[in-house]
Amino acid sequence: MCMDHSVVCKCGKNEASFMFKNELMPPETVEALYCPECSGEVPVNTDLMLKDNEWVIHFDMEITELYKGRLPYNKEQLSPELLFDEGYVTWRGFYPGDHLESAKERKKIAKLAKTDPAQYFREIKNWATKRMSRLKKEGWRKAYDG
């Protein structure tokens, strides 16, 4: 099971929803979040932080140390990249706000499912392909999964 938790960035203007895969790490694992508006002056320490586009996640690696026994990895491999890329502490969706924006986009297309199922499948496939291409061009880390 994955739980969703919302975190407000340091400047208070934005927030992001995080997923915590199997609840192996607690929400307190995210020590701080910096949006594009407040991340500019933040020196990124890659031992503690991960940058995805202009968003910066500061992980509390002391807390991860307390919970690392729950993870199926060698304890020496624990890093912000592993936590994020393996889904233990990651965006809900491909980027902050993605789960809301993509739901709105899919809802528009979903109307076709009742009237023209074949057109619906073409549209949803086309939407997904274009969307992933756009996310990769924008540089979102999770768009490169798999």
pLDDT tens-digit map of 16-48: 999 999 899 999 999 999 999 999 989 999 999
pTM: 0.89
For the chain, give the secondary structure using H, E and C: CEEEEEEECCCCCCEEEEEEECCCCCHHHEEEEECCCCCCCCCCCCCCEEEECCEEEEECHHHHHHHHHHCCCCHHHCCHHHHHHCCCCEECCCCCCHHHHHHHHHHHHHCHHHHCHHHHHHHHHHHHHHHHHHHHHHCCHHHHCC
Mean pLDDT of 102-106: 91
Mean pLDDT of 96-115: 90
**Domain ranges in the chain?**
2-91, 98-144
CA distance 139 to 69: 32
Q: If pLDDT is split at 50, 70 and 90, which confidence band does 70 have?
A: confident
